[in-house]
């Protein structure tokens, strides 16, 4: 009986190599996506094709307001709060999480709001949401905000805390800067609760009980599971080897906060 041939030891795939290959592929895609999304010449043709049937994803001359931020920064809340106050037809563009969209909007002189959140908190959220390690997520945050900084005089910047605690003055700043005349959403406890309930209802419609774990990671409100995962990953983010990158992100964050 002929023995079954075996691979040499060095040629054998280690256990779980498929999972590691998938993780590396996702991380490479993540790096590529957040690199090109900083440059309109590279990114905008792609997003125009990808979202050719969606009016709320690509800035055009007909756009009334662009609301953008690095992912996991509260643009869902900001967009729905803003729209809920409008008494006329207003077209917002949001959720590409691309600096290229911001740069394109400024060149077109479209009113634009950019929300800025603490880089470490957002990095943890990206690590959970996109299955990436700390370094590429933190570098992506830096790249996004560096590119936005090149057109910061043409946008309204607001911090995540300003948006979540009192969004009313932020909309007033948009009106003042762009002479826009938008209706101003009043940030009361009742109005805030209504927006959160609207988002929760939207999530229930998008993510039913049979939704996969992968899709649930896109849930637009905090969940206990995600918070637990973030705490587990914080050790990786706090590694000494990442200290220079954390410091660079923090310096950039502090400079942006001065303009919020």
Above pLDDT 90, what percent of the chain?
A: 75
The dotted CATH code for 26-257 is 3.40.50
For 145-179, what is each residue's pLDDT tens digit?
Answer: 999 999 999 999 999 999 999 999 999 999 999 99
- Considering only CA atoms, which of 151, 2, 146, 127 is closest in space to residue 71? 127
Residues 6+ apart with CB under 8 A from 174: 65, 111, 113, 156, 180, 182
Predicted pLDDT of residue 8: 34
Q: Is the pLDDT of residue 10 over 70?
A: no
CA angle 98, 103, 107 (to 5 degrees): 150
* Average pLDDT score, the chain: 88
pLDDT in tens, 30-62: 999 999 999 999 999 999 999 999 989 999 999
> Is the Cβ–Cβ distance between 239 and 123 less than 8 Å?
no
| Strand 112-116 versus strand 156-159 pairing type | parallel
What digits encode the pLDDT tens for the residues 16-29?
Answer: 445 566 888 989 99
Q: Sorting pLDDT into bands at 50, 70 and 90, what band is 226?
A: confident
Task: Provide the edge-to-edge strand list for the sheet that holds 112-116.
Answer: 92-94, 65-69, 112-116, 156-159
What whole-number distance in Å separates Cα of residue 86 and Cα of residue 182?
A: 7
Task: Report the pLDDT value the prediction gives residue 2, as an integer from 0 to 100.
Answer: 39
Tens of pLDDT, residues 89-117 = 999 999 999 999 999 999 999 999 999 99
Q: How far apart are CA 181 and CA 194, in angstroms?
A: 24
The answer, yes or no, to whether residue 118 has pLDDT greater than 60, is: yes
Domain boundaries, the chain: 26-257
Determine phi and psi for 114, rounding to 5 degrees: -120, 125
User: For residue 144, what pLDDT is reported?
Assistant: 98
């Amino acid at each position: 009986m002929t023995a079954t041939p075996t691979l040499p030891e060095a040629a054998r795939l280690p256990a779980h190599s498929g999972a590691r290959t998938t993780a590396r592929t996702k991380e490479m895609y993540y790096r590529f996506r957040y690199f090109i999304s900083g440059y309109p010449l590279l990114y905008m043709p792609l997003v125009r094709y990808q979202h050719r049937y969606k009016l709320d994803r690509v800035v055009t001359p007909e756009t009334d307001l662009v609301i953008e931020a690095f992912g996991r920064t509260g643009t869902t809340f900001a967009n729905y709060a803003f729209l809920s106050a409008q008494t006329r037809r207003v077209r917002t563009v949001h959720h590409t999480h691309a600096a290229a969209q911001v740069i394109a909007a400024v060149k077109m002189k479209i009113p634009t709001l950019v929300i800025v959140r603490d880089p470490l908190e957002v990095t943890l959220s990206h690590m959970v949401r996109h299955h990436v390690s700390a370094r590429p997520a933190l570098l992506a945050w830096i790249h996004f905000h560096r590119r936005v900084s090149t057109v910061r005089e043409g946008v309204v910047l607001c911090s995540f805390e300003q948006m979540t605690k009192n969004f009313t003055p932020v909309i007033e700043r948009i009106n003042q800067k762009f002479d826009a005349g938008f209706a101003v959403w009043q940030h009361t406890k009742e109005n805030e609760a209504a927006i959160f309930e609207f988002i929760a209802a939207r999530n229930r419609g998008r993510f039913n009980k049979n939704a996969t774990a992968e899709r649930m990671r896109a849930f637009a409100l905090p969940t206990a599971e995600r918070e637990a995962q973030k705490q587990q990953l914080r050790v990786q983010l706090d590694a000494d080897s990442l200290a220079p990158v954390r410091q660079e992100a923090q310096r950039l964050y502090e400079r942006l906060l001065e303009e919020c």
